[in-house]
Amino acid sequence: MKVIITGGSGFLGSQLATKILNKGTLTGPSGKQEPVEQMVLIDAHFPVPQTDERVQEITGDISDRDVIESAIDGATEVSVFHLASMVSGECEERYDDAIRVNLDGGRNVFDAARAIEGRPRVVFASSIACFGGAAMPTPVSDLAKRTPQTTYGMTKAICELLVNDHSRKGHFDGRSARLPTVIIRPGKPNAAASSWASGMFREPLNGEPCNLPVRRDQSHPMTGFRTVIDSFIALHEINESQLGDDRAYGLPAHCVTPNLAEQVLAEIAGEKNLTLGPIDDAFDPRIQGIVDNWPTAADGSRAVELGLPEPPPLKQIVEQYLEAFVQS
């Protein structure tokens, strides 16, 4: 079978690709485990190319339908993981591009999947940014009304509904993983309004200062990167008969504040004899305003009941980051 991953060179996409390649099989259209013989990664650039001979890398934009079609290339036994997206801060600043990439690009992916014979499985990476505003309960669950207060969240909510409707009509077998903020992303901060969530761990662990743009008591739902990768695969593997009418499943998450992050970092630094960089207050009302319209806690019980994994303790998530990206 062929596996297509949009956003395939990103933080999550690249790790998902490696995990699937190592696993070697996925559930195919037949409902049985089938070998992954081909994998196509789509992204705007590939700073670290994959070396596995099963992998083809396509440099392009998902808003170009031809890019998606070239990835499918007539294959009939296909699974699609749609992860490509502009991030929240970019979407607020560049509305037209957000519509072109997140919404029109999503439609391109879904329409191309619809045209594949054999009703492929499609896993979409959504976000708890689908929720927001006065209608948002605490904690937010999958039963809450979608009232996004950001352009990013709006595009994710619409794509969730498209996945549901394509699945209802039998075009493909879709399911959406509604992600909390995923930590800890390596490298430099990006344009996401939630970038501070990784930065308040990453920079201190690198011995560098972190400029914190939100309140120190700001609660935010977070989960570990390994749990998300396992969740993508687990959601793909679940039999369609177990899914409800709403195929978007909010992943379980920890409620994390900068104050809690400092406590966990101090504990790890003491155990590993690390010298931490400081977390400095650098309040940004624009970032705080966006975060204020996001959930402060998430109820992932529906995903857990389906069999998706829960995140390990926060300390273990930090240790997983050190193991994967810092320590040799």
Active site residues: 152
Which ranges in 273-306 belong to alpha helices (H)?
285-292, 301-306
Which ranges in 99-140 belong to alpha helices (H)?
105-114
259 φ/ψ angles, rounded to the nearest 5 degrees = -60, -45
DSSP string, 162-208: HHHHHHHTTS-EEEEEEE-EEE---SS--S-TTHHHHHHHHHHHTT-
Going by their DSSP bridges, the two strands 248-250 and 173-179 should be labelled as parallel
Which ranges in the chain belong to alpha helices (H)?
11-23, 65-72, 88-93, 95-98, 105-114, 151-168, 195-205, 225-237, 258-272, 285-292, 301-306, 314-321
Q: Assign 231 to helix, strand or coil.
A: helix
**Residue 20: both structure tokens together:** 């699937």
Q: Which residues contact 284 (CB under 8 A, 6 or more apart)?
A: 213, 214
